[in-house]
């Protein structure tokens, strides 16, 4: 009887974690439906799927496969976004993050976003509230920054930036950087307070078509502080440089 009750409780928690993003995004869906209800011809509902990185990385041990992608549906002012970041090694998922966000235009090229982030890996899972800003800064830097608050009171922040340098209309070099900061130590997931990790990349792509571009590049990762201590405890390196080959696409 206790086992049955425990299974029922786990199932209820699982369904709650799945339904929470939908419940939070329902008001955003209604806002999209009501946005300029009489101008469907001038302000249609549009969609886009963007695969920023689908790549094989030449790292120590098993070569990992990584996916960073995002998709949106909406109108000029209001959109619903899905973002995902997944890394697999030896056929197993090591990191998996999904964000479901409502986005509202603040100014030309700038949106405020809010919603839910769910970390399925590493375990135990974590669910965060999200508020952030995404847009195009002066000199054409693409910026994505967000603050995360977990239900138990944990906090985190992320900043990422990307720039495109055109050698020709088809050959494009893209430097990028990402920094993660956490407010508390979380030994269960191996993240420490303060500056946790940083990533920098340099990818050279060739646009066979604007929507389809294979690339090669190099990726650098480093952990800091208490996060680095957790990594050392597991016998892993605190920094790594990887050669990458991948594909960028959108439709």
Q: CA 168 → CA 121, 122, 165, 206, 207, distances in Å?
A: 39, 41, 9, 9, 10
**Could you read off the pLDDT of 217-226 as tens digits, one per residue?**
999 999 999 9
Q: Write down the pTM of the prediction.
A: 0.81
Residue 43 has what pLDDT? Answer: 76
Residues 60-110 have pLDDT tens digits of: 667 789 999 999 999 989 999 999 999 998 888 989 999 999 999 999 999
Confidence of residue 31 (pLDDT cuts 50, 70, 90): very low
pLDDT band at 47 (very low <50, low <70, confident <90, very high): very high
Give 168-196 pLDDT, tens digit per residue.
999 999 999 999 999 999 999 999 999 99
Q: What percent of the chain has pLDDT over 90?
A: 73
| Residue 18 burial class via C-beta count within 10 angstroms: exposed 0-12, middle 13-18, buried 19 and up | exposed
- Cα angle for residues 131, 10, 118 (degrees, 5° grid): 20
Instruction: Give CA–CA dist 172/90, Å, rounded.
Output: 31
Token pair belonging to 122: 């590493």
C-alpha distances (whole Å) from 128 to each of 24, 28, 148, 154, 161 are 12, 18, 6, 9, 22
* Longest CA pairwise span in the chain (Å): 68
pLDDT confidence of 17, banded at 50, 70, 90?
A: very low
């Amino acid at each position: 009887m206790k086992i049955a009750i425990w299974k029922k409780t786990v199932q209820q928690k699982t369904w709650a974690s799945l339904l929470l993003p939908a419940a939070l995004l329902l008001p955003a869906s209604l806002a999209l439906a009501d946005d300029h209800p009489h101008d469907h011809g001038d302000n249609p509902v549009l969609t886009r799927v963007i695969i920023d990185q689908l790549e094989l990385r030449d790292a120590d041990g098993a070569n990992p496969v990584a996916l960073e992608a995002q998709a949106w549906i909406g109108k000029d002012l209001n959109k619903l976004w899905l973002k995902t970041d997944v890394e697999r090694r030896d056929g197993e998922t090591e990191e998996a993050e999904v964000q479901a966000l409502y986005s509202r235009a603040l100014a030309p090229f700038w949106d405020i976003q809010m919603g839910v982030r769910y970390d399925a890996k590493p375990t135990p899972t974590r669910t965060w509230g999200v508020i952030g800003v995404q847009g195009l800064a002066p000199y054409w830097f693409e910026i994505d920054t967000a603050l995360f608050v977990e239900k138990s009171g944990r906090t985190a922040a992320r900043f990422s930036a990307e720039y495109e340098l055109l050698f020709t209309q088809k050959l494009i070099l893209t430097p990028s950087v990402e920094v993660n900061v956490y407010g508390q130590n979380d030994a269960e997931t191996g993240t420490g307070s303060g500056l946790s990790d940083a990533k920098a990349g340099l990818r050279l792509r060739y646009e066979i078509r604007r929507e389809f571009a294979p690339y090669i590049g190099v990726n650098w990762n480093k952990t800091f502080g208490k996060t680095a201590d957790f990594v050392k405890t597991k016998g892993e390196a605190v920094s790594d440089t990887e050669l990458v080959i991948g594909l960028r696409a959108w439709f």
